[in-house]
Structure 1
């Protein structure tokens, strides 16, 4: 019982940190970059939001208690830091910009995100067992079920009249589109453009 309370506390802390690091701060940075007309930072943050859309997809998959959501959660924790550092041209443009509060905040956020997601990916590995179980077993195991509580709270707040099954269907459709887009990028665009975001 004590271990369950401890795990629940850690999971809810993780969700709160996720709201701060993955939604609030990048949204502020994006608005700030548009106001300051910092194009390289704008482009990096637009790419970030595209990659980070996997977090929203995962949220909807978890609302429906679909085991695959644990795989998409881990994938998001790997892809998001990669997306923040991958683009050589954007990294160079940002590095060459004069010192400013915006540049400092962006760099601090990027490093914080990298550490946060690296630790999160390591912590997520034991929960991959939840991805290879049935939906019924997933709901019966407190070890797995604790990760679904925050998504269910989100549903109660924003989708009270919508069934979990329909939201899960939207999550599956979103995941299919995301995987197809990622596959297209890796198999076609990556070879053509390399680490340049110029034509992204």
Structure 2
């Protein structure tokens, strides 16, 4: 009941404050879901910390769902809201689920900079993703007919469109082609189908055999 009440409170916020929260969520996402894990992956690879590299590798596979949500929202596809909500929940699961990786991380000296930074990042990512999921849940009303016409729905479309404009210029410069919202959505749908197939294979085949052991995830 508490998450439901929180979602109702967020949905009742004045539009300017709600829009500010959406942009804050985007900035925190860039920090905790892109910037820090990329730095940590490079750092762990240089230090040859196998368990940390495996954990971060799993994270990036799961976090690719955030990119797919962004591609869908670029073309104003309502499915993007559902994908975004699921992505925020799955990234939390991806960094805490594995028994073997959790044990290996616990065995590392807690005062060493790399393990300490990774622990701080895991908790920070969890806090962002849970709060972000509550905020994203307020946008599920955009799924209905004409839902995207609501001002609050437009607040969620603006960040992906801003990113699209930057990618559009870079794409045209490198490939000489046109990167349109429709192309972004098409790639998003193709990627989503591949993602679902891979997830089902893991749920139905690997998880029953390996349990909460990272294995070859």
Fold match, TM over 0.5?
Answer: yes
CA distance in 1, matches of 2:26, 2:97: 25
Deviation at 1:38, TM superposition (A): 0.5
Structure 2 residue 84 is matched with structure 1 residue 67: no
CA RMSD of aligned residues (A): 1.3
Aligned to 2:113: 101
CA distance in 2, matches of 1:118, 1:101: 26
Among 23, 30, 34, the alignment partner of 1:19 is 30
> How many residue pairs get matched?
196
Structure 2 residue 158 is matched with structure 1 residue 158: no
Q: 1:131-178 deviations in whole A, cap 9, x for unaligned?
A: 2x23xx244111111101010001111124322111111101111111
Contact 2:19 2:152 in 1 (8 A): no
Unaligned runs of 5+ in 2: 1-12, 170-177
Structure with the bigger RCO (C-alpha within 8 Å, sep 6+) is 1
Q: 1:8-57 deviations in whole A, cap 9, x for unaligned?
A: 11111110110000010000000110111100000000000000000000
The range that moved more, 120-129 or 188-197, is 120-129
CA distance in 2, matches of 1:124, 1:158: 24
Aligned to 1:148: 157
CA distance in 2, matches of 1:154, 1:123: 20
Unaligned runs of 5+ in 1: none
CA distance in 2, matches of 1:155, 1:138: 22
SS in structure 1 at match of 2:138: helix
CA distance in 2, matches of 1:47, 1:80: 9
Counting only pairs closer than 5 Å after superposition, residues 39-58 of structure 1 correspond to structure 2 as: 39-58=50-69
Among 114, 132, 138, the alignment partner of 2:126 is 114
CA distance in 2, matches of 1:98, 1:5: 45
Contact 2:141 2:147 in 1 (8 A): no
Structure 2 residue 194 is matched with structure 1 residue 174: no
Deviation at 1:4, TM superposition (A): 2.2
Runs of 4+ in 1 over 3 A off after TM superposition: none
Structure 2 residue 92 is matched with structure 1 residue 81: yes
TM-score (normalised: structure 1): 0.94
CA distance in 2, matches of 1:93, 1:195: 14
